[in-house]
Amino acid sequence: MFSFFRKKTPPAQPDPEKTVVPDATTIAPETLPPAVAHSGSVRFSLPGQSPASDPGPGAELAPVAVSARASWTSRLRAGLRRTGSSIATVFTGTTIDEALFEELESALVLADAGVKATQYLLDTLRQRVKQTKAKDPVAVKALLIDVLAELLAPLEKTLVVGEFKPTVIMMVGVNGAGKTTSIGKLTRHLGYRGASVLLAAADTFRAAAKEQLAVWADRNTVEIVSQQGGDPAAVSYDAVTAGRARGKDVVLVDTAGRLPTQLHLMEELRKIKRVIAKADPQAPHEVLLVIDGNTGQNALAQVKAFDEVLKLTGLIVTKLDGTAKGGVLAAIARERPVPVYFIGVGEKLEELETFSAREFAQALLG
- Rounded Cα gap, residues 344 and 188, in angstroms: 13
Distances (CA, A) of 27 to 59, 154, 254, 364: 15, 29, 33, 32
pLDDT of 79 reads 66
Q: For 77-90, how does the pLDDT look when each residue is reduced to its tens digit (9 = 90+)?
A: 776 776 667 787 88
Q: For 109-125, how does the pLDDT look when each residue is reduced to its tens digit (9 = 90+)?
A: 888 888 999 999 999 99
- Per-residue confidence at 294, pLDDT binned at 50, 70, 90? confident
CA nearest to 193, candidates 151, 161, 239: 161
Angle between helices 297-310 and 263-279 (to 10 degrees): 50
User: Is 42's pLDDT higher than 80?
Assistant: no
**Taking the domain 82-154, which CATH number applies?**
1.20.120.140
> Are 82-154 and 163-355 equal in CATH topology?
no
More confident residue, 302 or 229: 302
- Rounded Cα gap, residues 268 and 324, in angstroms: 33
Q: For 143-172, how does the pLDDT look when each residue is reduced to its tens digit (9 = 90+)?
A: 999 999 999 999 999 888 888 999 999 999
Phi then psi dihedrals of residue 56, to 5 deg: 80, 165
**Chosen CATH of 163-355 out of 3.40.190.10, 3.40.50.300, 3.40.50.800, 3.40.228.10:** 3.40.50.300
Residue ranges in the chain assigned as alpha helix (H): 63-79, 81-88, 98-110, 115-132, 137-152, 179-191, 209-220, 232-245, 263-279, 297-310, 328-335, 357-365
- Rounded Cα gap, residues 116 and 280, in angstroms: 40
CA nearest to 352, candidates 159, 88, 108: 159
Mean pLDDT of 54-62: 34
Q: For 229-285, how does the pLDDT look when each residue is reduced to its tens digit (9 = 90+)?
A: 678 899 999 999 999 999 999 999 988 777 766 677 788 899 999 999 999 999 999
Phi then psi dihedrals of residue 129, to 5 deg: -60, -40
- Rounded Cα gap, residues 215 and 283, in angstroms: 26
- The domain segmentation of the chain, as residue ranges, is 82-154, 163-355
Q: Which residues in 82-102 are b (16+ Cβ under 10 Å) and which e? A: bbbebbeebbeeeebeeebbe
Q: What is the β-pairing status of strands 197-201 and 44-45?
A: unpaired
pLDDT of 7 reads 44
CA nearest to 190, candidates 60, 316, 319, 12: 316
- Rounded Cα gap, residues 229 and 213, in angstroms: 15
- Per-residue confidence at 219, pLDDT binned at 50, 70, 90? confident
Give the chain's mean pLDDT.
77
CA nearest to 112, candidates 318, 317, 327: 327
- Model confidence, pTM: 0.78
